[in-house]
Amino acid sequence: MKDTFIKFKQVIGGTEEEALEKFPWLKDAEFSDAVVDISNNYPIWKDGIWKDGVWKGGVWEYGTWEDGVWDYGIWKDGTWKGGVWDYGVWKDGTWKGGTWKGGVMWSNSKQLYENVEYKDGYFIVI
């Protein structure tokens, strides 16, 4: 259990205990300065630093992802530094490195989501 590493800056729509009860996968994650909205059936990460663990759905509005596994969800903005992106929807943000296994990215020029893969340091449409 990595509870000693968990640090919520703010929990919107409940308490820290309610957040961990509603989304138990957060118990095994390491993060700091997290601002999380738990008002919905899924978490909305508004800010903070994700250090390690498995993200299992929800919306990432902003923050820094340092390491861990992104199982599924919607990434709206922020900085991805490393870790494994299994599958999800990438809207915007900065990709600095890591492993991209699959998912879709928003194309501003086409105004739609496209399936992409990460190869030789670049995202390409597949």
> What residue ranges do the domains of the chain occupy?
39-125
Torsion sign (Cα): 83, 51, 6, 1: positive
Q: Residue 25 gets which letter from DSSP? A: G
Nearest to 31 by CA among 61, 59, 68: 68
Instruction: Supply 37's token pair.
Output: 């909205």
Regarding pTM above 0.85, the answer is yes
Tell whether the model's pLDDT for residue 43 goes beyond 80: yes
Residue with tokens 């138990």: 24
Cβ–Cβ < 8 Å for 14, 22: yes
Q: Residue 4 gets which letter from DSSP? A: G
- As a whole-number percent, the residues of the chain with pLDDT over 70 amount to 95
